[in-house]
């Protein structure tokens, strides 16, 4: 991997020392978490200055970075001064709004929950933030903008009471019920105009002051600009914005639709894997993502562990893929759980688009789009759970959908696990970095002792398989794993070594 390809630099970087930065929504000991407060989506914007989270209650919460604003000069100016930037990213609560409400489909007798499945940022314009949020059926396009509250001040003195700012005294309320004409007289024809108490300066009428509109405090307003609905028969699992800034895709189990941001009543079906007879169905779409720099290329993953690369220039309906990425089964390794744990829950492109990161139940895999014979690296996330697959199947944990992310330079990857743990792996050639961290104020409480990567020579290409610290059935401290506390959602800052992850209703942030 080369730095220019969105991969690691030629020199193997040293393992990062991760430190706790912030927590929002921290739980007290024994506090019960409400289901609607559990975070279900998390995403940095392209600049890394804003972070959005969505929860099961249909709310979207925005955070903004403060450490850049509070210090004079931009980062670029500080770099010109050769001033070391050692501050870690600090965020504060910005605003929140109700994105989705629970609905009921009367035709299908189906309840549509308000849970936010995905959030994706769009390009900023005129200082306003734009983002897409979706639940199972409906996608919404939101605009969040600061609005100044305008007030009228500097009014003329009221002629009846001599009170400034146009405020009328209580004794003059009854006399003020009459309607005025433009010249100040009453509409009932009476000649009583201005009060005799008003003194005119010699030489003419007193000068009139024009009222002034002043902008006072600013308030954030979130407005739903468009609603993209009634285009999916199955639950939406992915949305992805295009680098052209005009279009986005939405994917459900069987179809991928292409939308224009400006048109909410029409979409184009570009991928359809639904068979004529549903009994012939062998796989479903699990995730879809646009290429970060080529607006005509997208990738989507399936429940059978394959990733298909699609070029929209080839045809209007992209049923035939341009490339297929899948790992061949090792002979004799097939079991009842093989297909279940092979299902890919998330895919992400590296920043430059050369590599694709995928997450299945047991592993992270890094794929080179120029090499479809197999992954270039495989990282085993929680291999010690393999003997417990039967128990995980019984309690449905085997169907948990973990997300994954890459660092901005592509030299590291991260994903979540159980007991609120997350793993960070180095994917540079020769790197042995495999760190286990806990989503808490003391992330290093999980002692990590990385093992040497084992190499597999199953093909002509040497692929790295890295495990990190493991002990069967227990974490590094000897504690049994808690399958009810799972870290499904996390995201990496686009330019810095900073990770935000969601543990139940709490948002934890770390830096290195």
C-alpha distances (whole Å) from 421 to each of 292, 342, 494, 499 are: 29, 21, 22, 13
pLDDT band for 174, please (50, 70, 90 cuts). very low
How does pLDDT run across 276-307, given as a tens digit for each residue?
999 999 999 999 999 999 999 999 999 999 99
How does pLDDT run across 62-91, given as a tens digit for each residue?
999 998 755 545 555 545 555 445 567 899
Residue 156 has pLDDT above 90, yes or no: no
309 pairs with which residues across the strands?
Answer: 299, 323
- Decide if 383 contacts 467 (C-beta within 8 A): yes
Residue 456 burial by Cβ neighbours in a 10 Å radius (0-12, 13-18, 19+): middle
pLDDT band for 455, please (50, 70, 90 cuts). very low
Residue 94 confidence (pLDDT): 94
Residue 171 has pLDDT above 70, yes or no: no
How does pLDDT run across 355-389, given as a tens digit for each residue?
999 999 999 999 999 998 899 999 999 999 999 99
How many angstroms separate the CA atoms of 493 and 409, rounded?
11
Among the residue ranges 147-161, 238-252, 320-334, 441-455, the one predicted with the least confidence is 441-455
How many angstroms separate the CA atoms of 377 and 462, rounded?
9
Among the residue ranges 29-38, 212-221, 438-447, the one predicted with the least confidence is 438-447
Question: What would the mean pLDDT of 127-155 be, rounded to a whole number?
Answer: 89
Residue 408 confidence (pLDDT): 93
Q: What is the mean pLDDT of the chain?
A: 82
Residue 512 has pLDDT above 80, yes or no: yes
Higher pLDDT: 459 or 210? It is: 210
Q: Max Cα separation, the chain?
A: 109
Residue 482 confidence (pLDDT): 81
pTM score, whole prediction: 0.79
Residue 458 has pLDDT above 50, yes or no: no
């Amino acid at each position: 991997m080369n730095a220019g390809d969105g991969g690691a630099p030629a020199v193997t970087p040293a393992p990062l020392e991760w430190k706790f930065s912030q927590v929002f929504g921290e739980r007290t000991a024994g506090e019960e978490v409400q289901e609607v407060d559990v975070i279900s989506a998390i995403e940095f914007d392209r600049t890394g200055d804003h972070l959005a989270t969505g929860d099961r209650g249909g709310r979207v919460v925005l955070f903004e970075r403060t450490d850049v604003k509070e210090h004079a000069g931009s980062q670029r100016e500080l770099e010109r001064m050769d001033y070391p930037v050692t501050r870690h990213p600090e965020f504060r609560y910005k605003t929140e709004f109700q994105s989705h409400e629970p609905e009921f489909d009367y035709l299908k007798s189906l309840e549509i929950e308000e849970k936010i499945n995905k959030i994706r940022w769009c390009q900023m314009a005129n200082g306003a933030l734009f983002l897409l949020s979706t639940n199972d059926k409906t996608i919404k396009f939101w605009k969040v903008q600061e609005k100044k509250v305008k007030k009228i001040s500097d009014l003329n003195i009221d002629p009846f009471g001599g009170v400034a700012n146009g405020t009328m005294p209580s004794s003059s309320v009854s006399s003020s019920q009459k309607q005025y004409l433009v010249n100040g007289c009453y509409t009932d024809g009476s000649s009583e105009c201005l009060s005799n108490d008003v003194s005119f300066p010699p030489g003419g009428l007193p000068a009139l002051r024009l009222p002034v509109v002043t902008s006072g405090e600013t308030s954030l307003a979130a407005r739903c600009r468009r609603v993209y609905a009634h285009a999916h028969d199955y639950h939406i699992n992915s949305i992805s914005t295009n680098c052209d800034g005009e279009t986005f895709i939405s994917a459900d189990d069987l179809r991928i639709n292409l939308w224009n941001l400006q048109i909410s009543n029409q979409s184009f079906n570009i991928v359809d894997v639904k068979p004529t007879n549903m009994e012939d169905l062998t796989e479903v779409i699990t995730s879809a993502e646009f290429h970060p720099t080529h607006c005509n290329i997208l990738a989507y993953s399936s429940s059978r562990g394959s990733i298909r690369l699609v070029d929209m220039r080839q045809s209007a309906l992209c049923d035939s893929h341009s490339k297929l990425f899948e790992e061949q089964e090792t002979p004799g390794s097939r079991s009842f759980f093989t297909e279940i744990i092979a299902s890919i829950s998330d895919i992400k492109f590296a920043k430059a688009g050369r590599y694709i990161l995928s997450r299945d139940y047991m592993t992270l895999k890094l794929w080179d789009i120029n090499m479809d014979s197999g992954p270039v690296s495989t990282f085993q996330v929680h291999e010690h759970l393999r003997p417990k697959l039967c128990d995980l199947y019984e309690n449905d944990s085997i169907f948990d959908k973990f997300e994954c992310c890459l660092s901005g330079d592509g030299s590291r990857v991260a994903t979540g696990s159980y007991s609120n743990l997350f793993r960070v792996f180095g994917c540079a050639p020769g790197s042995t970095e495999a760190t286990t961290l806990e989503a808490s104020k003391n992330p290093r409480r999980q002692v990590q002792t990385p093992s040497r990567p084992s190499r597999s020579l199953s093909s002509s290409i040497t692929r790295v398989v890295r495990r990190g610290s493991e002990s069967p059935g227990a974490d590094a401290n000897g504690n049994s794993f808690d399958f009810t506390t799972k870290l499904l959602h996390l995201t990496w800052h686009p330019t810095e070594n900073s990770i935000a992850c969601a543990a139940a209703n709490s948002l934890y942030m770390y830096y290195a």
